Chains A and B, each alone.
Chain A
Amino acid sequence: MRRRGFIGGLVGCALGGACRMRVLGGEAHAQDAIDFALPEGEKRLSIAPALYYEREAERKVVCRLCPRECRVADRERGYCGVRENRGGEYVTLVHGRVCAVHVDPIEKKPFYHVLPGTQALSLATAGCNMECRFCQNWQISQFRPEQVDSVEASPAGLLRTAREKGARSIAYTYSEPTVFYEYMLDIARETAPQGIRHVVVSNGYIAAEPLRELAPHLTAYKVDLKAFTERFYREQCSARLEPVLQTLKLLRTLGLWTEIVVLIIPTLNDDEASNREMFKWVAGELGPDVPVHLSRFHPTYKIRNLPRTPVATLERLYAIAREEGLHFVYLGNLPGHESESTYCPACGHRVIERFGYVIGKIDLESGRCRRCNAVIPGVWN
C-alpha cells in the first residue's frame, strides 16, 4: 500500500471503530467461535474497608494483616489478590462473597478433636497469601475474585443455612481465611453468640494482632505446617516458615485449640531429619497433645510429576512422631488405616473410631477415656 493511502486509512479510523476498510483477507475468522459471557467481573466483587493497614505517602498503603506486609501502590493489589488500594484506601474485594460453600464432616477439615461426628458449614472466598505448588484448591485460592463464580452470603444467612443443615460449626477453609479476615471476623462476631462454633483452617500466615482480635470468637484453629525448613517454604510456597511457627506459639498462648496438618510430599519434605525436628519442636513448644495429621500427597497444580506418597513413608514418619512424644498422630487421605482413629495415650484404648470421614464408636465420657478415665484433650461439646 502506498503511504498516502495508508495514512488516509489511519485518519478515517482513528477516533472510533466504526469505519470500514476494504477487506483484503481474513479467511480464518477464528474469533467467530468465541463464547462470550456478560462482562460481569466487577459484579463478582464485594467491597468493604480493609483492616490492618497503614497509609503512606503518595496514596500507598502497607498491609499489616499477614507477615508478607505488602506495600501496595494505588490501583494495585496485595499478593493475595483480594485486597486493593483504591486511592490510598485499602479495601477487601471479597467481603460477603463466597466462591465455595459446602456442608462437610468436621473430620474433613481435618479436626479430629473438635466436635467429632458433626457437620461444619464450610466456606471460602477467592485468594490466598501463599502460592503452594501443591495446592489442592488452586482453582479458587490462586485466582482473583472476579475470575471465579461467587455468591453473596451474609452472616445471618450463613447462620440460617448452618442451622437448616444441622451444622454445629462454620469452618473457614478451602482457600486461606486470613485473606478474607474482615468477613470472617464479622461472621464470627455476629453469630458466635448465637451458639454456633467457628473453626479456621489456615496456613498460619497471619500477623499477631489480627489473630488476637479474632481468637476470642473461635473454637479451633488448624494450621498447615507445610514443612520444617525455610527452603521449602521459600521454594514451594513463596513464603517463610518462621512466621508460621510464631502463629502456632501464639495460638498456644491464646489457649485456642490447635491441630496441625503436614502434607508429606515425596522427595520434597519426606525426609526423616527435618520431620523429626518438626515433631520435636511441636512437642516441646506446643505440647505433646497437639494433634498432628500427616497427609498423603496427590499430584496437582504445579507438582504433577511426583507420585502419591507411599504409605510406608507415612507410616515411618508416624512412628517417628510417636517416638518424639506426640500423643495424637494421624495419617490422612488413607481411608481405613488404623491411624485414623484416636487412641488413649494412657491405656491405648481406641476412644474414637474413624473410617475416612465416618465416625464409628466414640468411647469418651466427658472428654475422658471410658476405660482408664484419662483426659483426652479436645473440644468435645
Chain B
Amino acid sequence: MDRRIFLKSGLAASALLSTGRAGAQFELLARGEFANLPGFVAVAGDLIPPGRALRSNRDPVPAERIGRALERCMTALLGSEPWARLFAPHEVVAIKVNGLASGHLSPRPELVWAVVAGLRAAGVHDSNIVIWERTTRELERSGFAPQTSEHEVRVYGTDALKGSGYAQQIESFGQVGSLVSRVLTEYADALINVGVLKDHDLAGVSAGMKNLYGVIHNPNRYHDNACDPYVAHVAALPSIRSKLRLTVIDAILGQAHAGPAYNAEWIWPCGRLLVAADPVACDRVAADLIAAARAARGLPSLKEAGREPVWIATAARLGLGHDSDLEIREV
C-alpha cells in the first residue's frame, strides 16, 4: 500500500506481505546492509482493546496484544524469524527509548520488553541488551527499573556511566558536532530506536529520528530552524548511522499538539505501532499521522505553525532512508 492510500484508508487491519521487493531486501540484510530496506514501514493497528479509553501511556494495554502486533510488524517487514535477520547472537544491542515526557508519553515498557523478547529470540544474551535514555531518572519515570547487574538486561541512563557518560571524541556531520553516548560508541553493536508519536513544538514531529537527540550531549544546540537540518545531521553521525537498524514507534496514543511534553488535551487514540528499518520512511508516516490528527482537530498544519518537519526530506537527501515511494504494510 502506498502512502497516499494508507492515509485515505485509515488503516484497515489487513496483513500484506509482498514478496517481490521483500525478497531482495533479505539478500541485502544477509550482507549486513541493514540501512537498505528502503521505504518499508510496517504498521499494526487496533492495539487499543475495544471499549478501552486511554488517556496516557500509563493506562494499560495487554502486553500480549502489543507483543503480537510487534511480531506481526517484524514478520511483515522481514519475513520469518525476523529478529535473527537483523541481530546476531553475539551482538550488544542498545534500545534507546524516549523518556522526556515521563510515563505518560514515553514508549510503553510492555513494548520495549517485547523488543527485548525479540532480541532474545535472535539469541542475544540478556547481558548484551541495554535499555537506555539520557538519564536513569528519566527511565524510572517512564516505568523502567534501573538495572546494572551484568546477568540481566541492563537499564540505565548515560549519566550512570562514570565521567560524563559521553565519548571523548567529537563526532561531526554537517552542522552537527557532538559527543555521543558511550553506550553507543563503546558498548553497542546495534541500535534500536523506540520512540513515541507526538507533536514537537520545534521539530514539528518527534517519533524516530528526533529521539536520537537523546544520544548526544548537546541536543539544545540543534533546535533552530525547526530542527532542519539538525535532526538529519544527528542521525547521520557515524556512530548512529552505522548502528541504527530498527525504529519502533509506540503510536498506541498520539499527541497532536503541544509536545514534546505530555498534554492530555491533545492525546488521541491512534492505536498503532510503526516499525521500520528505514528511519526516514518511519518518520514520514509518523508525520502524516500527526498531520491528519491535527487536521481532524482543526489545528493549523505544521507548516502553518512554522514547524514543518523539513528535516525528513533532508534526511532522505542524505541517503538515510526514503521519503517517497513508501510501501506501508498494514498488519
Residue interface bits A296-335, CB-to-B below 8 A is 1, else 0: 0000011000000000000000000000000000000000
Shortest distance from the beta carbon of B235 to any chain A beta carbon, whole Å: 19
Question: What is the number of residues of chain A that contact chain B, defined by CB distance less than 8 Å?
Answer: 59
Contact assessment for A39 and B128 in the assembled complex, using a CB-CB cutoff below 8 Å:
no
Complex contacts, A268 vs chain B, CB 8 Å:
none
Q: Measured between alpha carbons, how far is A18 from B189 in the docked complex, in Å?
A: 24
| A146: contacting residue among B66, B118, B135, B172, CB under 8 A | B135
Whether A73 touches B259, Cβ cut-off 8 Å, given contacts A41-B136, A146-B135, is yes
Which of A1, A28, A31, A79 sits near B223, CB closer than 8 Å? A79
Contact present for A302 and B116 (CB under 8 Å): no
> Are the CB atoms of B159 and A39 closer together than 8 Å?
yes
Asked whether B64 lies within 8 Å of A11 as measured between CB atoms, the reply is: yes
Binds A, one of B29-37, B88-96, B279-287: B88-96
- Contact partners of A14 in chain B: CB under 8 A: 63-64, 66-67, 110, 113-114, 117
Is A113's CB within 8 Å of the partner chain B? no
The contact string, 1 if C-beta is below 8 Å from chain B, for chain A 130-153, is 010100000000111011100000
Say whether B218 contacts A39, CB under 8 Å.
no
Instruction: Tell me the interface secondary structure of chain A in the complex.
Output: loop
Contacts of B160 in A (CB 8 A): 36-39
Say whether A273 faces chain B, with CB atoms less than 8 Å apart.
no
Q: Are A15 and B170 in contact (CB under 8 A)?
A: no
Contact A58 B159 (CB under 8 A): no
Contact residues of B between 227 and 242, Cβ < 8 Å to A: none
For B157, list chain A residues within 8 Å (CB): 39, 41
Q: Which residue of B lies closest to A32 (CB)?
A: B150
B288 at the interface (CB under 8 A from A): no
Contacts of A25 in B (CB 8 A): 88-90, 123-125
Bound-state Cα–Cα, A165 to B151, Å? 51
A256 to B137, CA, bound (A): 44
* CB contact under 8 A between A147 and B159, given known A39-B146, A73-B260: yes
Interface residue? A193 (CB, 8 A): no
Contacts A/B (CB < 8 Å), 20 sampled: A1-B121, A7-B64, A10-B63, A11-B67, A13-B114, A13-B117, A14-B64, A14-B67, A14-B113, A24-B120, A25-B124, A30-B189, A31-B150, A36-B156, A36-B160, A37-B162, A74-B263, A77-B220, A147-B164, A302-B177
